[in-house]
């Protein structure tokens, strides 16, 4: 029998009460807007596009490797140690992803996971050898139609026994690489039918070699996943130094946007019936053939507001676009559609740099009033001065 059932009982622990965990710690940069997203579990809703995609990928792995061979986990708690998120997957101490500009810290040793790879080491030590981990991940990031600070990833890992490459008479890394690519190309075909894909060489601290898979969609190459042959150090740390493994991490929103033709990543968070009613468990047909695409309903008008300001004179580098986005998000939540730099210049005489950002406000559900937008924009301006130290122009 497989050592793991599809539901792994002792890892599906109830989530601790998050308010016990999130404190007023000085290193805490988790805003309420982000904190609030933690309970949604979109990937666990059978009728949600992300839940549908997750199930379809699970079916593909059942078909390819045998039913239940890949154990699936949907309940791994998203607050993890910085050690699990970074060190356990060999992210170097000075890597930019560790900065408070890129990652949400609960305190200096605890983060909201920025990828599902945070669970690789723990799962391997726990005895899992073939598994899929799906969950919400968090990144301080810019704002536009394809970027949201919370999105969902699925991690896949498969460990090989020495016997497998010895019997095949091939090099272990070649075997792992070949199976990995074949598996993921097969997944792309299963999801999208006859699509054009390409492999791009990539770098991750936790795999070597590493690749990204891109899909040609609406005239552009879209990156949908990263993957590679797991670094031996990770296997050694788990007491598996005689084995080899491949791993991948894919973005569920990216796949769902392509599969269902969803134009804006914020729609996945909407509970507007015009969105939710269009998706139903089991609606997927292999290769996307004849499947109902999302029918966009009329968009409410956007409202554009520009804000011009001088960067802090003493240390202009302290201003970052991610920090500005966080301020805007904390005030306007999902009413903000985009934050975009539209002008930048230096006043040499004053020794100051000016930026102008355009903030686009739009609701997916209703028309916004002028008073409402003006109040949001006033609060954004006020917070920019208080929290970012800029001087409004």
Q: Which chain residues interact with Mg ion by CB under 5 A?
A: 226
Q: Which of 51, 135, 228, 288 binds ligand FA5 (CB under 6 A)?
A: 228
Nearest approach, Cβ of 155 to ligand FA5 (angstroms)? 6
Q: Are strands 130-138 and 336-347 parallel, antiparallel or unpaired?
A: unpaired
Q: What share of the chain is helix, strand, coil (3-state, %, to 5)?
A: 35, 25, 35
Question: Rounded to the nearest 5 degrees, what angle is found at the Cα of 122, between the Cα atoms of 25 and 61?
Answer: 120
In the beta sheet, which residues pair with residue 306?
358
Q: Which of 251, 328, 329, 368 binds ligand FA5 (CB under 6 A)?
A: 251
Nearest approach, Cβ of 54 to Mg ion (angstroms)? 20
Nearest approach, Cβ of 223 to Mg ion (angstroms)? 6
- Give the x/- contact pattern for ligand FA5 in 115-154, rule: CB under 6 A: x-x---------------------x-x-----xx--x-x-
* Pairwise CA distance, residues 323 & 388, whole Å: 8
Compute CA distances 98 → 18, 92, 145, 366, whole Å: 22, 9, 25, 38
Nearest approach, Cβ of 230 to ligand FA5 (angstroms)? 7
Nearest approach, Cβ of 349 to ligand FA5 (angstroms)? 39
8 Å CB contact between 291 and 284 = yes
In the beta sheet, which residues pair with residue 158?
130, 246
Query: CB 162: neighbour CB atoms within 10 A?
Result: 11
Q: Which of 225, 229, 238, 256 binds ligand FA5 (CB under 6 A)?
A: 225
Query: CB 261: neighbour CB atoms within 10 A?
Result: 16
**Shorter beta-carbon distance to ligand FA5: residue 74 or 231:** 231
**170-209: contacts with ligand FA5 (CB under 6 A):** 204, 206-207
In the beta sheet, which residues pair with residue 353?
346
Interface with ligand FA5 (CB under 6 A):
115, 117, 139, 141, 147-148, 151, 153, 155, 204, 206-207, 223-228, 247-251, 253-254
């Amino acid at each position: 029998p497989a050592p793991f059932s599809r539901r792994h009982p002792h890892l599906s622990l109830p989530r601790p009460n998050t308010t016990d965990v999130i404190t007023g710690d000085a290193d805490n940069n988790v805003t309420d807007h982000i904190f609030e997203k933690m309970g949604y579990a979109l990937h666990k809703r059978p009728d949600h596009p992300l839940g549908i995609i997750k199930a379809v990928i699970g079916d593909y792995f059942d078909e390819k490797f045998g039913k239940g061979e890949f154990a699936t986990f949907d309940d791994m708690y998203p607050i993890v140690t910085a050690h699990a998120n970074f060190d356990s997957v060999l992210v170097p101490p000075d890597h930019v992803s560790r900065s408070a500009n890129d990652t949400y810290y609960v305190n200096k040793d605890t983060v909201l996971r920025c990828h599902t790879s945070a669970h690789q080491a723990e799962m391997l030590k726990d005895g899992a050898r073939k598994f899929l981990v799906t969950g919400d991940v968090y990144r301080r990031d810019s704002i536009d139609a394809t970027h949201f600070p919370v999105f969902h990833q699925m991690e896949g890992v498969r460990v090989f026994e020495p016997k497998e490459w010895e019997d095949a008479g091939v090099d272990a890394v070649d075997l792992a690489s070949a199976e990995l690519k074949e598996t993921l190309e097969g997944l792309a075909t299963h999801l999208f039918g006859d699509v054009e894909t390409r492999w791009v060489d990539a770098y991750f601290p936790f795999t070597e070699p590493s690749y990204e898979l891109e899909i040609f969609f609406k005239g552009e190459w879209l990156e949908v996943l990263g993957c590679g042959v797991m670094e031996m150090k990770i296997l050694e740390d788990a007491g598996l130094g005689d084995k080899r493994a491949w791993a991948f991490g894919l973005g569920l929103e990216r796949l769902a946007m392509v599969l269902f033709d969803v134009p804006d990543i914020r729609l996945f968070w909407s509970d507007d019936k015009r969105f939710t009613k269009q998706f139903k468990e089991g609606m997927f047909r292999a290769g996307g053939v004849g499947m109902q695409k999302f029918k966009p309903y009329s968009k409410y008008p956007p409202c554009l507001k520009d804000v011009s300001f001088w960067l802090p004179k003493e240390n202009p580098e302290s201003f970052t676009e991610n920090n500005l986005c966080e301020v805007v998000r904390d005030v306007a939540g999902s009413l903000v559609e985009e934050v975009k730099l539209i002008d930048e210049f230096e006043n040499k005489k004053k020794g100051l740099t000016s930026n102008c950002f355009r903030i686009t406000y739009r609701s997916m559900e209703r028309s916004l009033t002028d008073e409402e937008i003006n109040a949001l924009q006033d609060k954004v301006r006020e917070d920019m001065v208080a929290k970012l130290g800029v001087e409004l122009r």
